[in-house]
Chains A and B, each alone.
Chain A
């Protein structure tokens, strides 16, 4: 069972207290975007076997959305951070780079 830390309340919550919300840092396509851009925005998933940035919600806690960096191959959690960020914070990236030396920076 996954245990993730909610960056708002600081609680180490186990998976049953949380709701998964899919891929993080998706850039919304606005008016004037092409069909391809909308398709990518709405449907195309990175779905990596490895480091994944994703959204979670502390649904049975504070109710807030947050981000998690996690390895889908080993279930290792690299850390969680607030939802109000456009890209993963440096501390998380450094931690991933330390744990995954060959990591190319993800596909986001």
Chain B
């Protein structure tokens, strides 16, 4: 039985307001899994859903299931600091992150779901002379890549963000790399919006369905075993972030990935005081203010392998210390909650969108500490790879073979920790 989906609009809001909001339909279906699909996507986080969405939208492939071991968007998609930017040094990174940022600009209209994209501007503070040189280099690279960023003076930093202390005791602010069209979006809404659009196009979103084995025959993938029974597929797209190593193990290969915990925290809500995103990579902290008034804070990742979705306390301490130094006004704020996500770190801090040793099994992983900003572009590029069997221009540089060939896309130096 087909479900009638509401189209969200001012009109539908008014109509529902008049009848006690009794007519809103569920945003996506929860079908029973079929015995097989053309394509199975593992992981209903932002990247998996965007992959499925673009498979249907760009390539007309609708016999697709998205399997999720927990609940939709319950992993890193719902556990990040929602920063969107594309001010990367390397051309290959800049291309995919800018594609993604551009898709974010119109995502609410495209999905008919308000993802609250807020291009309020992102500034990355330069607090050492090394960083000044690095960011001037990045600004010049961005100019060549057609991405609007500029290196701004400390005075302009202070004008854009009055609560900042630019002459701090340890690391005075010397300037910043400023991307005026960077910003934030509502992370849950991105997952929900894609899910609703996928469901509307007839794709199956199957939650509470953990993959327990990957089946293949003659080196070619044939399906997966799950906690809800076996599901066959012609192609398998593994988009599971921190658990990529587990899925690769099931399929019989290894990835150049280590999973570590990255933490974030939010403060109690306060009146508007910060209308840009500030990243301070030298002292390890980044901060923005949500529409609810909470300060959303992220910091450094643990250095050891960890799947517990909680990190070590000293990272919270380090992050808060750094931010209090940079924003003395927040020193008496209380923190409301803290959480950790398991991020998949590659050696060059760049993602993997690639074919694998198993035919028709594709991976999209390695987004590490900065995947949220890449969701739409990652889905776009992954869908192209899965649909055609070969990567397009966006995904081609991010193949697994780059490690063997020494073709790293080295953002680890360029981006520092906050990434």
The answer to whether A73 touches B404 (Cβ under 8 A) is no
Asked if B314 contacts A22 (CB within 8 A), the reply is no
Judged by DSSP, the binding face of A is mixed
**Is the CB–CB distance between A54 and B304 below 8 Å?**
yes
B258 within 8 A of A: yes
Return the chain A residue nearest B314 by Cβ: A16
**Contact of B314 (CB < 8 Å), options: A1, A20, A23:** A1
Per the 8 Å Cβ criterion, residues 228-259 of B in contact with A are 243, 245-246, 249, 254-259
A68 CA to B246 CA, complexed, in Å: 21
Taking a contact as CB atoms under 8 Å apart, the answer to whether B256 and A15 are in contact is: no
How many residues of A sit at the interface, in one of the four size bands? 20 to 34
The reply to whether the CB of B306 lies closer than 8 angstroms to some CB of chain A is yes
Tell me which residues across on chain B come within 8 A of A1, comparing CB atoms: 312-314
Residues in B whose Cβ lies below 8 Å from that of A45: 245, 254-258
Q: Contact between A39 and B258 (Cβ–Cβ < 8 Å)? A: no
Asked if A47 contacts B258 (CB within 8 A), the reply is yes
Q: Is the CB of A44 within 8 A of B255?
A: yes
Q: Does B305 contact A (CB under 8 A)?
A: yes
- A1-44 residues at the B interface, CB under 8 angstroms: 1-2, 15-16, 19-20, 22-23, 35-36, 38-40, 42-44
Q: Are B347 and A43 in contact (CB under 8 A)?
A: yes
Q: Which residues of A contact B258 (CB under 8 A)?
A: 22-23, 45, 47
Which residues of chain A have a CB within 8 Å of any CB of chain B?
1-2, 15-16, 19-20, 22-23, 35-36, 38-40, 42-49, 52, 54, 70, 72-75, 107
Instruction: Using known A-B contacts A47-B255, A47-B257, determine if residue A75 contacts B308 with beta carbons closer than 8 Å.
Output: yes
Knowing A19-B303, A22-B258 touch, does A39 contact B312 (C-beta < 8 A)?
A: no
Known: A20-B303, A47-B259, A52-B305. A35 touches B404 (CB 8 A): yes
B255 and A49 within 8 A (CB): no
Q: Which of B259, B304, B307, B347 has the most CB of A within 10 A?
A: B304
18 additional A-B residue pairs with CB within 8 Å, beyond A20-B303, A45-B257: A2-B304, A44-B254, A44-B255, A45-B256, A46-B245, A47-B245, A47-B254, A47-B259, A48-B246, A49-B245, A49-B246, A49-B259, A54-B304, A54-B305, A72-B305, A72-B306, A73-B307, A73-B308
Interface centre among B245, B307, B313 (most CB of A within 10 A): B307
Contacts of B255 in A (CB 8 A): 44-45, 47
B335 to chain A, nearest CB (A): 18
B interface vs A, CB < 8 Å?
243, 245-246, 249, 254-259, 302-308, 312-314, 347, 403-404
A43 touches B312 (CB 8 A): no
Q: List 23 A-B contacts (CB under 8 A).
A: A15-B312, A16-B314, A19-B303, A20-B304, A23-B258, A38-B404, A39-B404, A40-B254, A43-B347, A43-B403, A44-B254, A45-B254, A45-B255, A45-B258, A46-B254, A47-B245, A47-B255, A47-B305, A49-B246, A70-B304, A72-B259, A72-B306, A107-B249
CA distance A91 to B305 in the complex (A): 23
* CB neighbours of B305 from chain A (8 A): 47-48, 52, 54, 72
Chain A positions within 8 Å of B246 at CB level: 48-49
The 8 A-B pairs with the shortest beta carbon distances in the complex, nearest first, are A47-B245, A43-B256, A44-B254, A20-B304, A20-B303, A39-B404, A43-B403, A49-B307
A24 to chain B, nearest CB (A): 11
For the complex, give the distance between the alpha carbons of A48 and B314 in Å: 24
Closest CB in chain A relative to B342 CB, distance in Å: 9
Please, how many angstroms separate the alpha-carbon atoms of A45 and B258 in the complex?
A: 7
Q: Are B254 and A15 in contact, CB atoms less than 8 angstroms apart?
A: no
Q: How far is the CB of A108 from chain B (nearest CB, A)?
A: 12
Distance A39 CA – B347 CA, assembled complex (angstroms): 12
Q: A52 to chain B: which residues have CB within 8 Å?
A: 305
A20–B306 alpha-carbon span in the complex (Å): 12
